[in-house]
Amino acid sequence: MSKFCTNCGKELKDGRCDCVKVKENNQVSNFCNKYIEILKSIFLKPVDTIKENSNEDNFLFGLISLCIVSILSGLFTYLILSEGVSKLSTGFMFSMRSMYKVPFLKTFISGFLVSVIWYAVLAFIIYLIANKLFKDKLTVKETIAFIGVLSVFMAPVVLASILLIFVSMKLMLLVLVIASMFYMVYFIQGLMEITKIDKNKIACLYVPALLLTFFIVYYVLPKLLSL
């Protein structure tokens, strides 16, 4: 086995070279800087930000961004269910409160997986419809990058919703509804930018993709898991 780094030529220490650590640290730093940059710009220039970053070079960024928002979604799922159970188990049901305790790990993982599967199915269906029905040249990596960049918009929304659970459920729902409306608009505008599909037909891509994703994730998948 070589005692010298094949990357920089320095002598290896414990089988590793410092340049590998530097490279790993740089990758993490670059991702964080890019995430913060997109987070700022997507609220100021959403369409331009989506257009500039929805490319194959940002495929990995898209995957990690989707994981971040899915982790937040898992935490949101647990907290919203816990708060709901807490409210139901007050008053005359207070003595039965322990029977309705929401398990953290199971609920968190379920929320996380549902979010991951949702984004994965949505990306695949958009890719499939765009290529097969509209003969567009949109790639899977571009689709993941596109949805990943959009998820940067939703991450602070989910985080804010988590905090608002402890303040006001009505305010939390209002924030989610308003943010979802903006998200849908940016999604459609983004599709117009990353595909060459006629703008008059873009709804024929977005609506079926959304409906099919909803049907698969919330109807077909539970049926398969219950077998």
Is 26 within 8 Å of 38 (Cβ atoms)? no
Answer yes or no: is 86 within a domain: yes
Answer yes or no: is 3 within a domain: no
Is 149 within 8 Å of 65 (Cβ atoms)? yes
Bigger pLDDT: 225 vs 152: 152
Range 152-164 average pLDDT = 95
Range 210-225 average pLDDT = 88
Answer yes or no: is 8 within a domain: no
Answer yes or no: is 88 within a domain: yes
Answer yes or no: is 9 within a domain: no
CA 172 to chain centroid, in Å, comes to 19
- Please tell me the distance from the alpha carbon of residue 145 to that of residue 63, in angstroms, as a whole number: 7
Domain coverage including residue 173: 18-225
End-to-end CA distance of the chain: 51
What single-letter amino acid sits at 101? K
Highest mean pLDDT range out of 21-25, 79-83, 93-97?
A: 79-83
Answer yes or no: is 211 within a domain: yes
DSSP element (H, E) containing 178:
helix 169-194
Report pLDDT for 1. 46
Is 42 within 8 Å of 50 (Cβ atoms)? yes
Number of domains in the chain: 1
CA 3 to chain centroid, in Å, comes to 42
Answer yes or no: is 1 within a domain: no
Answer yes or no: is 95 within a domain: yes
